[in-house]
Amino acid sequence: MPHLTPVSPAADRLPEIIRRLRLAHPDARCALDHRNAYELLVATILSAQCTDERVNMVTPDLFARYPDAQAMAAADRGELEEAIRSTGFYRNKAKHIQEASQIIAFDYGGEVPADMDKLTALPGVARKTANVVLGVCYHIADGVVVDTHVQRLANRLGLSERSDPNKIEQDLMALTPQDEWVDLAHLLIFHGRRVCNARKPDCVNCTLSDLCPSAIF
């Protein structure tokens, strides 16, 4: 393997970045608690502008009250809003969750479709949410989840110079074999939370510092 530096092409550095991240974060996985695709879909909608920890505090009671799409579709909107209030933007989230649940209940027999186009047609579901559900629950690598952590690390690591999540996703997909797409997102998210945080990245203790054009010592 040629000697790699922070200015080596991204395509050359990324396999080594993934290898090191696997060693550093062997527990990298979806951090949203769920038992099935429907629960993960709802939890991912709730996670917008909210921490996964907060969502995981809300969903046990939420799913005890509304255990499936049919129950959520029939929920009282005001009661649903109150149940998810602490996740922020609760009125919009309640509207999207209930409308998506109605479609899932009545058009798809209560089963979340394992299809990107059908998922992104649901209210409140963009590519990020669809990629989470497809990758985690259906093991379908249709794309790369790009949340704020992935966006930040892709830019810092020089894997993408763009700011639009959809364009960052395209860059990462072009650099990475398809069978790595799901794991890549989990690894970057865990590294972003534990080491390369937004305000003060821990470059001194980062396993990627010698490969990162943004490393500061």
Catalytic annotation, residues: 128, 147
Residue pair 142/134 in contact by the 8 Å Cβ criterion: yes
Closest CA to 152 of 88, 217, 214: 214
Q: Do 199 and 152 contact (CB within 8 A), yes or no?
A: no
Spell out the long-range contacts of 163-169 with Cβ–Cβ below 8 A and sequence spacing 24 or more.
165/127, 165/128, 166/127, 169/127, 169/131, 169/143, 169/144
Containing H/E element for 82? helix 77-84
Pick from 6, 10, 53: nearest CA to 33:
53
d(CA 191, CA 187): 6
Long-range residue pairs from 106-112, CB within 8 A, at least 24 positions apart, any chain: 106/73, 110/38, 110/68, 110/69, 110/70, 111/37, 111/38, 112/37, 112/38, 112/41, 112/69, 112/137
The DSSP letter of residue 202 is -
